[in-house]
Chains A and B, each alone.
Chain A
């Protein structure tokens, strides 16, 4: 009976939060035939195609710079002239980002503020969750290129776990040369798709084939599976990525060197050693890989 029974929303209405990497240091290192403007034109086409798919689809774009991140586009507030609005806001953003990052750390490419934009995306999604019982299905797409900042380890992991709790998949598309351990873990934990395209010229095809798939259709389709996930953690003391380290038995903080006292929870490690000097009380962290 078609009359009264079909009032449920369609399954494919989605809210897509796209996080784009605007790190200028990264974009200058990339080879010259695929620059930021080519990247943007692919992304804009992709956003248009998402909005084309369903009248109720919603797209939010968050720009990630070196020292701050901000919403640059929201399809629910801006109806016409999508590209112009987005580009204007993006330009403003980049200028402000440049003025904020004063001193230049000379050691390679500075990481983008992934943790900040992930948190902003999650905040936005929480607001949508609370706005009413009928909301689109949210997901996050990270278009990231710059290397991971080990200093953001804790905050990125926290963002990942809160995304997992609220059942928001984080898809990631890595544009840079090397894999990103953060995003591998993010997609693995939240059930999203992680992919590193081989040819950036066909970025739109990658985006439309893999990342345009709504959550409902994902249960019927074969999507790229992770080959291997880098589960390595960063130590809390020097923010280095480590293979083996020490872990606090109370609060699970990770350290690269033996400490007398946990800097996070304040537990004193020395006591067990006094009673039994043969094996130290610190558990050795073994990486899962």
Chain B
């Protein structure tokens, strides 16, 4: 079983692991407070709101009294998270009682938000300067296009037509862990992690890339806290509005160029000024911190005869399907493929599991079949699982062989002894051979030596 896990969702862990000083600095920005609040578990959010206007430490017992027995574990998770993120400060009050007090910067920022309502990080530019802004549909198409182009480059696909502006060194950093190249002549191969990455949904992929991006720029000397706060701030802009580039700092201006290559923003140049327009990918950044993600329209229909029809014009989709299916022919808006034993074996070899494939098929089911239960025919999903378990037919167990028994009586009692202890693997009564599990060797030796 592959043990590679690409951890993409716990961006908040990354924030939580920042040193205390940086974390406190991060809370100076009201948008970060908001984004972080939204990423908390529901119970933790409630605790924060409850304490928002309370200026004295509150005893931990008070919280526990509110919680029903069922919720004790959820309560602990929530409190741990709050303390980890330094939103709650834990202190020992009088009579050795644990008390919590909300982080004051955090508190003040949220209070402002509650009193004044949600403000925008920066004012959009008036429409008389920005001549022609793309419509929301155009913007969405642009974002999807950029992102796919990036992914195709990432997996070194020959299908990528457009060039991406991301430098090859940056690309190599993203590819680390996803793609391996043993030596120069060999074409680069996707690793197990790479396959799992491709099967993730867009938001999860995005966060994985952003994480890599942040840790990379940290090496280049950019403060990760600044970057995180800029990215989170970006997610509070309104999709489709233009924002002036002059409002950004130099570092942010460099960052935003890279983000444009990923499809998070669209850059436009006017006669005098230039501006950036956030796309849905950017504004969804803070939503995807919690597990919410808007469900994408599916495109795959799997039939009981193992045929798979994918209604998609995207080359990336085709590449993904190629990971575990044999593509038979491609029409402008349709990819017809078949799930075969050979294609699946290839996938299993690369470390994709049957459960991942089935989950992928279920999540990307075409709306017409998504209503059906199950959306993937049972015979197909069962067969995929069976084929995987076929590969695991051989089990390796360390074993010991005993032979040349002095008499049949000794052999028989040795067999019985091994069987009783659950260690007998194989016996041949004619030749008087017996094979037992390795860990039973000493027991067996003692047992047989008693007959001597």
* Interface residues of A, Cβ cutoff 8 Å to B: 1-13, 44-45, 48-49, 51-56, 79-83, 134, 204-205, 208-209, 212-214, 216-217, 219-222
* Interface residues of B, Cβ cutoff 8 Å to A: 5-10, 34, 37-38, 42-43, 45-46, 49-50, 52-53, 65-68, 70-71, 74-75, 110, 113-115, 117-118, 120, 196-197, 199-201, 204, 238, 286-287, 290-293, 295, 355-356, 359-360, 363
Report A-chain residues with C-beta under 8 Å of the C-beta of B115. 45, 48
Q: How far is the CA of A12 from the CA of B75 in the complex (A)?
A: 15
User: Number of A-B pairs whose CB atoms are under 8 Å?
Assistant: 124
A45 lies within 8 A of B114 (CB): yes
Q: A6-B291, A11-B42 are in contact. Are A83 and B67 (CB under 8 A)?
A: no
A222 lies within 8 A of B363 (CB): no
Report A-chain residues with C-beta under 8 Å of the C-beta of B9. 2, 6
Report B-chain residues with C-beta under 8 Å of the C-beta of A7. 201, 291, 293, 295, 363
A48 lies within 8 A of B75 (CB): no
Rounded to whole Å, the gap between the CB of B430 and the closest CB of chain A is 49
The 8 closest A-B pairs by CB, nearest first: A220-B71, A12-B42, A4-B359, A3-B200, A82-B117, A48-B114, A10-B292, A208-B49
A4 lies within 8 A of B45 (CB): no
Nearest A residue to B35, CB-CB: A55
B67 lies within 8 A of A53 (CB): no
B117 lies within 8 A of A48 (CB): yes
Report A-chain residues with C-beta under 8 Å of the C-beta of B196. 1, 3
Rounded to whole Å, the gap between the CB of A49 and the closest CB of chain B is 5
> Which of A5, A44, A49, A134 has the most chain B CB atoms inside 10 A of its CB?
A49
Report A-chain residues with C-beta under 8 Å of the C-beta of B70. 219-220
Report B-chain residues with C-beta under 8 Å of the C-beta of A80. 118, 120
Report A-chain residues with C-beta under 8 Å of the C-beta of B42. 10-12, 214, 216-217
B68 lies within 8 A of A219 (CB): yes
Report A-chain residues with C-beta under 8 Å of the C-beta of B10. 2
Report B-chain residues with C-beta under 8 Å of the C-beta of A11. 42
Q: How far is the CA of A9 from the CA of B292 in the complex (A)?
A: 5
A220 lies within 8 A of B68 (CB): yes
Q: How far is the CA of A8 from the CA of B53 in the complex (A)?
A: 33
B287 lies within 8 A of A212 (CB): no
A55 lies within 8 A of B5 (CB): no
B74 lies within 8 A of A52 (CB): no
A208 lies within 8 A of B50 (CB): yes
Report which of A4, A79, A204, A213 forms a contact with B360, defined as CB distance below 8 A.
A4
Q: How far is the CA of A102 from the CA of B90 in the complex (A)?
A: 59
A49 lies within 8 A of B49 (CB): yes
A82 lies within 8 A of B200 (CB): no
B356 lies within 8 A of A51 (CB): no
Report B-chain residues with C-beta under 8 Å of the C-beta of A6. 9, 291
B290 lies within 8 A of A10 (CB): yes
Rounded to whole Å, the gap between the CB of B87 and the closest CB of chain A is 14
Q: How far is the CA of A51 from the CA of B45 in the complex (A)?
A: 12
Report A-chain residues with C-beta under 8 Å of the C-beta of B52. 49, 208
Rounded to whole Å, the gap between the CB of B39 and the closest CB of chain A is 10
Q: How far is the CA of A79 from the CA of B283 in the complex (A)?
A: 14
A134 lies within 8 A of B49 (CB): no
A213 lies within 8 A of B46 (CB): yes
30 contacts between A and B (CB under 8 A): A1-B356, A3-B6, A3-B196, A3-B204, A4-B359, A4-B360, A4-B363, A6-B291, A7-B201, A7-B363, A9-B292, A11-B42, A44-B117, A48-B113, A48-B118, A52-B34, A53-B37, A80-B118, A82-B118, A83-B117, A134-B295, A204-B53, A208-B53, A209-B50, A216-B42, A219-B70, A220-B43, A220-B70, A221-B46, A221-B67
Q: How far is the CA of A83 from the CA of B119 in the complex (A)?
A: 12
Report A-chain residues with C-beta under 8 Å of the C-beta of B200. 2-4
Report B-chain residues with C-beta under 8 Å of the C-beta of A213. 46
Rounded to whole Å, the gap between the CB of A218 and the closest CB of chain B is 10
A1 lies within 8 A of B5 (CB): yes
Rounded to whole Å, the gap between the CB of B193 and the closest CB of chain A is 10
B67 lies within 8 A of A222 (CB): yes
Q: How far is the CA of A264 from the CA of B308 in the complex (A)?
A: 61
Rounded to whole Å, the gap between the CB of B200 and the closest CB of chain A is 4
Report A-chain residues with C-beta under 8 Å of the C-beta of B38. 52-55
Q: How far is the CA of A220 from the CA of B44 in the complex (A)?
A: 12
Report B-chain residues with C-beta under 8 Å of the C-beta of A1. 5, 196, 355-356
A-B contacts besides A3-B356, A10-B291, 7 pairs, CB < 8 Å: A4-B200, A54-B38, A55-B287, A205-B53, A216-B42, A221-B46, A221-B68
Rounded to whole Å, the gap between the CB of B345 and the closest CB of chain A is 21
Report A-chain residues with C-beta under 8 Å of the C-beta of B6. 2-3
B34 lies within 8 A of A2 (CB): no
A217 lies within 8 A of B117 (CB): no
A212 lies within 8 A of B117 (CB): no
Report which of B8, B53, B287, B292 forms a contact with A2, defined as CB distance below 8 A.
B8
